[in-house]
Amino acid sequence: MKIAFFDSGIGGLSVLHHALKLLPNEDFIFYADEDNVPYGTKSREQVLEFVDTAFKFLVSQKVDAIVVACNTATSVAVRKMREKYSLPIIGMEPAIKKALDLFPKQNVLVAATEITVHGEKIQRLISKLNAEKFVKLRALGELVNFAEQQEFNSPAVENYLRAEFSNYNFEEISSVVLGCTHFNYFKDTMKKILPAHIKFIDGNEGTLKQLIRLIEPLTDKKNSAPSIEFFYSGRKVTEPAELERLDNYLKRLDYVFEI
Protein backbone atom coordinates (compact mmCIF):
# COMPACT_ATOMS: atom_id res chain seq x y z
CA MET A 1 0.00 0.00 0.00
CA LYS A 2 1.04 3.55 -0.60
CA ILE A 3 0.13 5.81 2.31
CA ALA A 4 0.51 9.59 2.19
CA PHE A 5 1.35 11.72 5.21
CA PHE A 6 0.60 15.37 4.64
CA ASP A 7 1.51 18.42 6.74
CA SER A 8 2.18 22.12 6.27
CA GLY A 9 5.82 21.32 7.00
CA ILE A 10 8.02 18.91 8.87
CA GLY A 11 5.67 18.42 11.84
CA GLY A 12 3.98 15.52 10.12
CA LEU A 13 7.27 13.64 10.14
CA SER A 14 6.58 12.94 13.83
CA VAL A 15 3.51 10.97 12.78
CA LEU A 16 5.36 9.20 9.96
CA HIS A 17 8.22 8.40 12.34
CA HIS A 18 5.75 6.63 14.64
CA ALA A 19 4.03 4.96 11.67
CA LEU A 20 7.31 3.37 10.60
CA LYS A 21 7.32 1.49 13.92
CA LEU A 22 3.76 0.22 13.53
CA LEU A 23 3.66 -0.35 9.77
CA PRO A 24 7.18 -1.44 8.81
CA ASN A 25 6.26 -2.90 5.41
CA GLU A 26 4.25 -0.18 3.67
CA ASP A 27 5.27 2.45 1.14
CA PHE A 28 4.99 6.08 2.18
CA ILE A 29 4.82 9.49 0.60
CA PHE A 30 5.58 12.42 2.87
CA TYR A 31 4.28 15.75 1.61
CA ALA A 32 5.41 18.91 3.42
CA ASP A 33 3.87 22.11 2.06
CA GLU A 34 7.13 24.00 2.58
CA ASP A 35 6.05 26.82 0.23
CA ASN A 36 3.17 27.74 2.51
CA VAL A 37 4.22 26.81 6.04
CA PRO A 38 3.10 27.99 8.58
CA TYR A 39 -0.62 27.37 8.18
CA GLY A 40 -1.61 28.24 11.73
CA THR A 41 -1.37 32.00 11.32
CA LYS A 42 -3.04 32.17 7.86
CA SER A 43 -6.74 32.47 7.10
CA ARG A 44 -8.95 29.38 7.00
CA GLU A 45 -9.70 30.10 3.31
CA GLN A 46 -6.01 30.09 2.44
CA VAL A 47 -5.40 26.86 4.34
CA LEU A 48 -8.33 25.20 2.60
CA GLU A 49 -6.80 26.12 -0.76
CA PHE A 50 -3.39 24.75 0.25
CA VAL A 51 -4.93 21.47 1.42
CA ASP A 52 -6.97 21.22 -1.76
CA THR A 53 -3.82 21.58 -3.89
CA ALA A 54 -1.94 19.00 -1.83
CA PHE A 55 -4.81 16.50 -2.07
CA LYS A 56 -5.01 16.88 -5.85
CA PHE A 57 -1.32 16.06 -6.05
CA LEU A 58 -1.48 13.11 -3.66
CA VAL A 59 -4.50 11.60 -5.38
CA SER A 60 -2.63 11.92 -8.70
CA GLN A 61 0.18 9.87 -7.12
CA LYS A 62 -2.33 7.03 -6.66
CA VAL A 63 -2.00 6.80 -2.90
CA ASP A 64 -4.33 4.40 -1.09
CA ALA A 65 -4.90 6.56 1.99
CA ILE A 66 -4.05 10.06 3.21
CA VAL A 67 -3.13 10.90 6.77
CA VAL A 68 -3.56 14.60 7.41
CA ALA A 69 -0.69 14.75 9.87
CA CYS A 70 -1.59 18.30 10.78
CA ASN A 71 -4.13 19.39 13.38
CA THR A 72 -4.58 22.76 11.68
CA ALA A 73 -5.36 21.34 8.24
CA THR A 74 -7.67 18.79 9.84
CA SER A 75 -9.54 21.49 11.70
CA VAL A 76 -10.08 23.47 8.51
CA ALA A 77 -10.37 20.99 5.70
CA VAL A 78 -10.75 17.32 6.53
CA ARG A 79 -14.53 17.28 6.33
CA LYS A 80 -14.46 18.95 2.88
CA MET A 81 -11.80 16.55 1.61
CA ARG A 82 -13.92 13.57 2.72
CA GLU A 83 -16.85 14.97 0.77
CA LYS A 84 -14.66 15.24 -2.31
CA TYR A 85 -12.66 11.99 -2.25
CA SER A 86 -13.60 8.43 -1.40
CA LEU A 87 -10.19 7.10 -0.31
CA PRO A 88 -9.57 6.71 3.44
CA ILE A 89 -8.66 10.12 4.94
CA ILE A 90 -7.42 10.13 8.51
CA GLY A 91 -7.31 13.44 10.36
CA MET A 92 -5.71 14.53 13.61
CA GLU A 93 -7.08 16.31 16.61
CA PRO A 94 -5.46 17.34 19.87
CA ALA A 95 -5.42 14.30 22.18
CA ILE A 96 -7.55 15.89 24.91
CA LYS A 97 -9.54 12.69 25.42
CA LYS A 98 -6.36 10.68 25.95
CA ALA A 99 -5.11 13.25 28.50
CA LEU A 100 -8.39 13.18 30.42
CA ASP A 101 -8.54 9.38 30.31
CA LEU A 102 -5.05 9.25 31.82
CA PHE A 103 -5.69 12.05 34.32
CA PRO A 104 -9.43 12.22 34.96
CA LYS A 105 -10.77 15.53 36.26
CA GLN A 106 -7.34 17.16 36.14
CA ASN A 107 -6.41 20.27 34.20
CA VAL A 108 -4.64 19.94 30.87
CA LEU A 109 -2.90 22.59 28.83
CA VAL A 110 -3.53 22.14 25.12
CA ALA A 111 -0.85 23.78 22.98
CA ALA A 112 -1.73 24.18 19.30
CA THR A 113 -1.70 26.73 16.48
CA GLU A 114 -3.84 29.87 16.36
CA ILE A 115 -6.26 28.33 13.86
CA THR A 116 -6.73 25.14 15.90
CA VAL A 117 -7.15 27.00 19.19
CA HIS A 118 -9.76 29.38 17.76
CA GLY A 119 -11.53 26.80 15.60
CA GLU A 120 -15.00 25.41 16.15
CA LYS A 121 -13.74 21.84 15.94
CA ILE A 122 -11.82 22.01 19.20
CA GLN A 123 -14.77 23.66 20.97
CA ARG A 124 -17.02 20.81 19.81
CA LEU A 125 -14.50 18.26 21.08
CA ILE A 126 -14.20 19.96 24.48
CA SER A 127 -17.94 20.17 24.94
CA LYS A 128 -18.44 16.56 23.80
CA LEU A 129 -15.98 15.52 26.51
CA ASN A 130 -17.66 17.84 29.04
CA ALA A 131 -14.19 19.19 29.68
CA GLU A 132 -14.71 22.97 29.64
CA LYS A 133 -13.57 23.18 33.28
CA PHE A 134 -10.34 21.26 32.71
CA VAL A 135 -8.97 22.46 29.38
CA LYS A 136 -6.75 25.48 28.93
CA LEU A 137 -5.87 26.40 25.35
CA ARG A 138 -2.69 28.14 24.28
CA ALA A 139 -1.49 29.05 20.79
CA LEU A 140 2.26 28.49 20.45
CA GLY A 141 2.54 29.22 16.73
CA GLU A 142 6.11 30.51 16.94
CA LEU A 143 7.27 26.95 17.63
CA VAL A 144 6.34 26.05 14.05
CA ASN A 145 8.86 28.60 12.74
CA PHE A 146 11.52 27.45 15.19
CA ALA A 147 10.98 23.83 14.14
CA GLU A 148 11.22 24.67 10.44
CA GLN A 149 14.58 26.34 11.17
CA GLN A 150 15.77 23.27 13.09
CA GLU A 151 15.96 25.39 16.23
CA PHE A 152 14.77 23.24 19.11
CA ASN A 153 16.60 24.24 22.27
CA SER A 154 18.24 27.62 21.67
CA PRO A 155 17.94 30.41 24.27
CA ALA A 156 15.31 32.01 21.99
CA VAL A 157 13.15 28.86 22.10
CA GLU A 158 13.56 28.59 25.86
CA ASN A 159 12.72 32.25 26.44
CA TYR A 160 9.65 31.97 24.23
CA LEU A 161 8.39 28.91 26.07
CA ARG A 162 9.14 30.35 29.51
CA ALA A 163 7.18 33.50 28.65
CA GLU A 164 4.21 31.56 27.23
CA PHE A 165 4.11 29.12 30.14
CA SER A 166 4.44 31.84 32.78
CA ASN A 167 0.67 32.37 32.57
CA TYR A 168 -0.12 29.00 34.15
CA ASN A 169 0.27 27.34 37.52
CA PHE A 170 1.65 23.99 36.46
CA GLU A 171 1.20 22.54 39.95
CA GLU A 172 -2.50 22.39 39.01
CA ILE A 173 -1.93 20.89 35.55
CA SER A 174 -1.38 17.19 34.78
CA SER A 175 -0.16 17.31 31.21
CA VAL A 176 0.55 19.26 28.07
CA VAL A 177 -1.32 18.08 24.99
CA LEU A 178 0.82 18.64 21.89
CA GLY A 179 -1.96 19.73 19.55
CA CYS A 180 0.34 20.53 16.64
CA THR A 181 2.60 17.95 15.08
CA HIS A 182 5.48 20.44 14.96
CA PHE A 183 5.53 20.58 18.78
CA ASN A 184 6.86 17.04 19.35
CA TYR A 185 10.36 18.30 18.56
CA PHE A 186 10.33 20.46 21.71
CA LYS A 187 9.51 17.87 24.34
CA ASP A 188 12.99 17.94 25.87
CA THR A 189 13.06 21.75 26.02
CA MET A 190 9.59 21.84 27.58
CA LYS A 191 10.59 19.15 30.05
CA LYS A 192 13.54 21.25 31.15
CA ILE A 193 11.28 24.22 31.91
CA LEU A 194 8.23 22.51 33.42
CA PRO A 195 7.79 20.63 36.73
CA ALA A 196 8.77 16.95 36.59
CA HIS A 197 5.21 15.59 36.92
CA ILE A 198 4.03 17.13 33.61
CA LYS A 199 3.38 14.50 30.91
CA PHE A 200 3.39 15.20 27.17
CA ILE A 201 0.58 13.71 25.16
CA ASP A 202 0.28 13.69 21.38
CA GLY A 203 -2.33 12.33 19.01
CA ASN A 204 0.01 10.19 16.94
CA GLU A 205 -0.92 6.80 18.33
CA GLY A 206 -4.67 7.41 18.11
CA THR A 207 -4.36 8.63 14.54
CA LEU A 208 -2.30 5.63 13.50
CA LYS A 209 -4.68 3.19 15.17
CA GLN A 210 -7.45 4.74 13.13
CA LEU A 211 -5.30 4.46 9.96
CA ILE A 212 -4.61 0.78 10.67
CA ARG A 213 -8.31 0.10 11.29
CA LEU A 214 -9.21 1.66 7.95
CA ILE A 215 -6.48 0.14 5.80
CA GLU A 216 -6.31 -3.32 7.38
CA PRO A 217 -8.80 -4.83 4.93
CA LEU A 218 -6.85 -3.26 2.02
CA THR A 219 -3.24 -4.12 2.88
CA ASP A 220 -1.41 -6.59 0.72
CA LYS A 221 0.73 -7.76 3.70
CA LYS A 222 3.92 -7.62 1.67
CA ASN A 223 7.06 -8.32 3.58
CA SER A 224 9.64 -5.87 2.36
CA ALA A 225 11.29 -2.77 3.79
CA PRO A 226 9.26 0.43 3.59
CA SER A 227 10.01 3.01 0.92
CA ILE A 228 9.59 6.72 1.57
CA GLU A 229 9.37 9.45 -1.04
CA PHE A 230 9.54 13.05 0.15
CA PHE A 231 7.85 15.99 -1.53
CA TYR A 232 7.98 19.71 -0.77
CA SER A 233 4.75 21.26 -2.10
CA GLY A 234 4.58 18.75 -4.95
CA ARG A 235 8.29 18.78 -5.86
CA LYS A 236 10.15 15.56 -5.20
CA VAL A 237 13.02 16.04 -2.76
CA THR A 238 16.21 14.65 -4.29
CA GLU A 239 18.95 17.06 -3.22
CA PRO A 240 21.33 15.44 -0.72
CA ALA A 241 21.29 18.52 1.54
CA GLU A 242 17.49 18.43 1.78
CA LEU A 243 17.39 14.67 2.34
CA GLU A 244 19.93 15.19 5.10
CA ARG A 245 17.72 17.89 6.61
CA LEU A 246 14.82 15.44 6.72
CA ASP A 247 17.04 12.75 8.18
CA ASN A 248 18.11 15.14 10.94
CA TYR A 249 14.46 15.63 11.88
CA LEU A 250 13.92 11.87 12.01
CA LYS A 251 16.98 11.53 14.24
CA ARG A 252 15.64 14.19 16.58
CA LEU A 253 12.33 12.31 16.68
CA ASP A 254 14.22 9.17 17.74
CA TYR A 255 15.65 11.23 20.57
CA VAL A 256 12.39 12.75 21.85
CA PHE A 257 10.21 9.68 21.22
CA GLU A 258 10.36 8.31 24.79
CA ILE A 259 9.89 11.67 26.54
Candidate list 47, 69, 70, 139, residue with the active-site label:
70
Site string for ligand DGL, 130-159 (x = CB under 6 A): --------------x---------------
Residue 75 · residue 116 · CB < 8 Å: yes
Please provide the DSSP assignment of 175-235 as one string.
EEEE-SGGGGGGHHHHHHHS-TT-EEEESHHHHHHHHHHHHGGG-----S--EEEEEETTE
Pick the piece of the chain touching ligand DGL (CB under 6 A) from 57-65, 68-76, 230-238, 250-258: 68-76
- Residue 175 interacts with ligand DGL (CB under 6 A): yes or no: no
- Residue 38 interacts with ligand DGL (CB under 6 A): yes or no: yes
Residue 58 forms beta bridges with which residues?
Answer: none
- Residue 182 interacts with ligand DGL (CB under 6 A): yes or no: yes
Task: Tell me the number of residues near ligand DGL by CB under 6 A.
Answer: 17
Candidate residues 3, 4, 37, 51; the one interacting with ligand DGL per rule CB under 6 A? 37
Candidate list 13, 23, 143, 180, residue with the active-site label:
180
Cα separation of 22 and 230, whole Å?
19
Give the three-class secondary structure for 13. Answer: helix
Residue 50 · residue 36 · CB < 8 Å: yes
- Residue 207 interacts with ligand DGL (CB under 6 A): yes or no: no
Query: What angle is formed at CA 85 by the lines to CA 232 and CA 124, rounded to 5 degrees?
Result: 90
Distance between the two ends of the chain, CA-based, in angstroms?
31
Residue 92's Cβ-side half-sphere holds a number of Cα atoms within 13 Å equal to 31
User: Considering the complex, what minimum distance in angstroms separates the CB of residue 14 from ligand DGL?
Assistant: 9
Closest residue to ligand DGL: CB criterion: 40
The amino acid at residue 172 is: E
Residue 72 · residue 54 · CB < 8 Å: no
Of residues 17 and 182, the one with the C-beta less far from ligand DGL? 182
180 given a catalytic annotation: yes
Candidate residues 72, 174, 175, 189; the one interacting with ligand DGL per rule CB under 6 A? 72
- Residue 181 interacts with ligand DGL (CB under 6 A): yes or no: yes
Strands 235-236 and 227-232: antiparallel
179 given a catalytic annotation: no
- Residue 186 interacts with ligand DGL (CB under 6 A): yes or no: no
Pick the piece of the chain touching ligand DGL (CB under 6 A) from 24-32, 36-44, 154-162, 227-235: 36-44
Footprint on this chain of ligand DGL (rule: CB under 6 A): 7-9, 11, 37-40, 70-72, 113, 116, 144, 180-182
Instruction: Provide the annotated active-site residues.
Output: 70, 180
